[in-house]
Amino acid sequence: MTTYIIRRLVQAFFVLIIVTLLVFLAMHLLPGDPILIFVSSGELKNTSSEEIEALRQQFGLDRPLLLQYVDWLAGVARGDFGISITHRRPVMDEISRRLPITFQLSALALVISTAIGLPAGVVCAVRRGKWVDTIVTVLANAGITIPVFWLGIMLIYLFALKMGWLPVQGFTPLTVDFWKGMRQMVMPVFCLSIFSISSTTRQTRSSMLEVMRQDYIRTAWAKGLKERVVIMKHGLKNGLIPIVTLLGMSFSFIVGGSVLIENVFNIPGMSRLMVNAVFVQDYPIVQGFVLLIAVTILLTNLIVDISYGWLDPRIRYG
Amino acid sequence: MKNILALLCVGILLGLAVAGCGEPSPTPAPAPAPAPSPAPATSPQTPKSGGTFRYINPRGPANTIGWLAEPGPPLGLYACTMMEGLVDVDYKGTVKPKLATAWTIAPDLTSITFTLRLGVKFHDGTDFNAAVAKWNYDQFLAAKLANVKDVSSVDVIDNNTIKINLKKYSNTLLSTLTSTYMVSKAAFDKVGKDGLRWNPVGTGPFKFVSFERDVVLKVARFPDYWQKGKPYLDAIEAHFIIDPLTASAAFEAGEADAIGGDVAKVLYDLGQKGNQVLKSYTGAITLIPDSKNPDSVWSNLKVRQAVDYAIDRDAIVKARGFGLWTTTYEFAPPDASAYIKDLPARTYNPEKAKQLLAEAGYPNGFTTKIIGDSSTTDKEATVAVQGFLSKVGIEAQLDWVDFAGFVQYVMGGWKDAILACANGFSAANLNQGIDFVWSQTAAFFPSVLKTDQLQTLLNESMGAKDYDPALVQKVLRYMHDEVMFLPLYCITRGHAVKPYVHDTGFYTQQSWAVFTPADTWLSK
């Protein structure tokens, strides 16, 4: 197992280099110049070419591309992700302020989608063809097809503007004001988790239906085991592998979905920082963000792969 | 129970769907409203003290809120609550005292002497005086900022008098000096510019409390402010919400007292719901041909004139303006002192356009490209322009680029195309906007032919001791005759403000981004 993990980590290192290099080149190949964008935004203002050149030198954008990339990599190795062009603050400061916000929303969405999707899928499989299966399946199909930004706007309209039950927007850390923070999180977390709840429900139902037809399940029923034991111990555990794979992928979907949700609900998370940075071509922020996301996704996949061995002892890693 | 749960689930879904479909029927395009003019500066009621004024803006300050002596975008909207310059200039161009109580322009136009206000304190308790003012200007000069490009040096005459020596006089100088905000030297000595960048220490009516990027900037009343009895408010919060729908919903839900923006439909809708809409012209949407390129069809004056005749501006404004746009044929907004009332406008005349195209050697028209800035230009209006051009035989392909890509064209140039974009101006002193963008030294629009004759006229207009609308009109007439660009419609920026908010001063100042926080008060 240790050898397997080390091999995966070495692979991950090269994947990270390739990903960051591609993003670096893509950002620099896009039309536009971050310094020109920087001085052109906002109010009407005269700008001299000296000002523009001074800024370009200040951020090292006057140097060859390869040198800029190598410098950035060397900085990352030292834990220095560079200075944001627009914010003029260390990228790490910005990321460390934003990351907990996105992480809190994403983790909550993942927990909720698992807590609802898994039992809902099991119930559907066990009660196949009954009214509960029909209703949950219809809702799951709807949940997969509803665009999250539309859902977000509708929720704001209904629950914030019309009923006044929830605040329209914003984010308050739970440590600052627990109830305000919770109320602000209801709609964004619902939007973030809706797709994942639906897909987990569908996958669990399908996986459980497959497992429940197996001989060992029939044997378990024949032994007179309780329904809970048959379903949870013999059925669910054996049906979990595709579900765990899906949950690993759900994390990527949730992080991707947070780009829209943070914008709609005005949440100052990582995704909003990233979107703003892409528009103004703030290279250091974009590169830092991509590196972080790539590391997170690679680690998630590694954990998912390792969990296969725990779920099915027949799986061994060489 | 199960049935109730099932019905509830279905009900929620139906409710969401109905909410989605329940949007009121499309708003008919309103008739154009009278031309906007700046909001009244003062309210007839007696100001009441206390309260927190919360306003929403799409974006917060980008790179600094406290250290301005370095290149970067200006930030008047946020800095004006905490910092002040020597003078203020209002929307009509009147220069008003601020940290300077008086100023004298030398007869030979080589210097301006400012008498500084006594008894002004910075937020850190230190005094504002001539030495601090000189030190501030030295920082701007050392940073080689464009807004002090005509200043050579600053001398201290006595404790409350400084003399600003000039390389070249321009009547735009006092206007540009409004944004050179004074910062505490003692604070700089203590924390440096990195410390000041996010912890402003100025002389303004409010002092800095906290700033959270993309969330909120909070400032609180400065008790030692030099205008006794002001400010009226206890605090101001600037909230940053980028999505216009969310911002407008937050405003309607009572999460803010004012909302700023340039989305005409949003402002129109909020105005219809009983809110005050304060607004002013901030620029014109223009088509800018690459007239400098001799190989381009746009270098031909008759072609440019033809296009000017080909577009029905009134129809576009009526369909898309929601009462916030005004047809224009010139660079000056209708309420500017330099606005030319008798300008021979090339009003919609497709036959004349075809005739001019034939005279230019293009009887069957030609193909070209319109490069649009997707962040500032209304897409439907530009499609309408495309349609009008097609009617006279000009087939224009639309090329929408984001702000990043568009800036590259604006600063780097373009070929065989016209740019469609917002072109900002300040009605107070149009020389400023023309100098920033259309002068030969300006970094913007290098593909536009900026002739020596234009530069001579501009120098003459800027070099006059006082701003002279008649001289500006000469520049504007030349630009119109040469069709350097085609203004289509004036756009306005506005704030929707709740009825209990008074004397914000939005759009009463030279810069749309500055308001009057010391005068603002709430009657609720």
Q: How far is it, in rounded angstroms, from Cα B395 to Cα B407?
A: 25
Are residues A139 and B197, on separate chains, in Cβ contact within 8 Å? no
**Using a CB-CB distance cutoff of 8 angstroms, which residues of chain A are in contact with residue B212?**
268
Among candidates A44, A154, A265 on the partner chain, residue whose Cβ is nearest the Cβ of B16: A154
**Using a CB-CB distance cutoff of 8 angstroms, which residues of chain B are in contact with residue A158?**
15-16, 19
Do B203 and B85 share a domain, yes or no?
yes
Do B152 and B56 share a domain, yes or no?
yes
Which residue range forms the structural domain that includes residue A55?
A: 2-77
pTM for the structure as a whole: 0.81
pLDDT for res A27: 82
Do B489 and B516 share a domain, yes or no?
no
CA B160 to chain centre: 33
Q: Using one digit for the tens of pLDDT, what is the confidence trace for B104-123?
A: 999 999 999 999 999 999 99
Are residues B15 and A158, on separate chains, in Cβ contact within 8 Å? yes
Do B291 and B187 share a domain, yes or no?
no
Do B140 and B288 share a domain, yes or no?
no
Q: Using one digit for the tens of pLDDT, what is the confidence trace for B479-514?
A: 999 999 999 999 888 889 999 999 999 888 887 778
Q: How confident is the model at residue A301 (pLDDT cuts 50, 70, 90)?
A: confident
Mean pLDDT, to the nearest integer, of A32-39? 77
Break chain B down into helix, strand, coil percent, rounded to 5: 30, 25, 45
Contact B467, B177 (CB under 8 A): no
Do B315 and B190 share a domain, yes or no?
no
Q: Which of A184-188, A288-292, B186-190 has the lowest mean pLDDT?
A: A288-292
Mean pLDDT, to the nearest integer, of B272-287? 88
pLDDT for res B266: 81
Which are the contacts of A79, defined by CB distance < 8 A and separation ≥ 6?
A: A92
Q: Mean pLDDT of all residues in chain B?
A: 87
How many domains does chain A fold into? 2
Among candidates A44, A87, A160 on the partner chain, residue whose Cβ is nearest the Cβ of B433: A44
Q: What CATH number is attached to the domain comprising B317?
A: 3.10.105.10
Among candidates B9, B75, B146 on the partner chain, residue whose Cβ is nearest the Cβ of A47: B146
Is residue A31 assigned to a domain?
Answer: yes
Is residue B111 assigned to a domain?
Answer: yes
Q: How far is B516 from chain A (nearest CA, A)?
A: 17
Which chain B residue is nearest to residue A94, measuring alpha carbons?
Answer: B213
Are residues A46 and B197, on separate chains, in Cβ contact within 8 Å? no
Is residue B147 assigned to a domain?
Answer: yes
Q: Using one digit for the tens of pLDDT, what is the confidence trace for B416-430?
A: 999 998 887 777 889
CB count in 10 Å sphere of residue B208: 23
pLDDT for res B42: 54
Do B480 and B514 share a domain, yes or no?
no
Do A71 and A104 share a domain, yes or no?
no
Is residue A305 assigned to a domain?
Answer: no
Please, what is the Cα angle at B364 between B362 and B365, to 5 degrees?
A: 65
Is residue B261 assigned to a domain?
Answer: no
The partner residues of B212 in beta bridges, in order of sequence, read B216
A281 part of contact set with chain B, CB < 8 Å: yes
pLDDT at A191 over 90: yes
Are residues A87 and B213, on separate chains, in Cβ contact within 8 Å? yes
Do A115 and A258 share a domain, yes or no?
yes
Is residue A128 assigned to a domain?
Answer: yes
pLDDT at B155 over 60: yes
Do B368 and B454 share a domain, yes or no?
yes
Is residue B366 assigned to a domain?
Answer: yes
pLDDT at B378 over 90: no
Q: What CATH number is attached to the domain comprising A231?
A: 1.10.3720.10
Do B112 and B178 share a domain, yes or no?
yes
**Using a CB-CB distance cutoff of 8 angstroms, which residues of chain B are in contact with residue A41?**
62, 73, 403
Do B399 and B314 share a domain, yes or no?
yes
Q: How far is CA B359 from CA B362, B363, B406, in A?
A: 7, 8, 33
Tell me the percentage of chain B whose pLDDT exceeds 90.
60
Instruction: Encode B107-127: b = buried (16+ Cβ within 10 Å), e = exposed.
Output: eebebbbbbbbeebebbeebe
How many domains does chain B fold into? 2
Is residue A291 assigned to a domain?
Answer: no
Is residue A143 assigned to a domain?
Answer: yes
**Using a CB-CB distance cutoff of 8 angstroms, which residues of chain A are in contact with residue B402?**
32, 279
Q: Using one digit for the tens of pLDDT, what is the confidence trace for B199-219?
A: 899 999 999 999 988 889 999
Contact A264, A149 (CB under 8 A): yes
Do A121 and A8 share a domain, yes or no?
no
Q: How far is it, in rounded angstroms, from Cα A231 to Cα A223?
A: 14
Contact B316, B371 (CB under 8 A): no
Contact B384, B315 (CB under 8 A): yes
pLDDT for res A86: 80
Residues across chain B: 524
DSSP H or E stretch at residue B521: strand B521-522
Do A12 and A145 share a domain, yes or no?
no
Q: Using one digit for the tens of pLDDT, what is the confidence trace for B37-75?
A: 444 445 567 899 999 999 998 888 777 788 888 766 556
Q: How many CB pairs under 8 A join A and B?
A: 179
Is residue A245 assigned to a domain?
Answer: yes
Among candidates B146, B403, B513 on the partner chain, residue whose Cβ is nearest the Cβ of A51: B146
Is residue B254 assigned to a domain?
Answer: no
Which are the contacts of B79, defined by CB distance < 8 A and separation ≥ 6?
A: B61, B65, B66, B68, B181, B200, B202, B204
pLDDT at B10 over 60: no
Do B221 and B90 share a domain, yes or no?
yes
Are residues A171 and B215, on separate chains, in Cβ contact within 8 Å? yes
B74 is written with which tokens? 């200006």
Own/partner pairs, A90-97, CB within 8 angstroms, 24+ separation: A91/A284, A91/A285, A91/A288, A92/A288, A94/A273, A94/A285, A94/B213, A95/A270, A95/A273, A95/A288, A95/A289, A95/A292, A97/B213
Do B359 and B324 share a domain, yes or no?
yes
Which residue range forms the structural domain that includes residue B479?
A: 2-27+280-493
**Using a CB-CB distance cutoff of 8 angstroms, which residues of chain A are in contact with residue B243?**
263-264, 266
Are residues B249 and A168, on separate chains, in Cβ contact within 8 Å? yes
Q: How far is CA A197 from CA A123, A143, B3, B33, B402, in A?
A: 14, 8, 22, 50, 35
Interface test with B, best of A27, A47, A271 (most B CBs within 10 A): A47
pLDDT at B3 over 70: no
A2 part of contact set with chain B, CB < 8 Å: no
Q: What CATH number is attached to the domain comprising B81?
A: 3.40.190.10
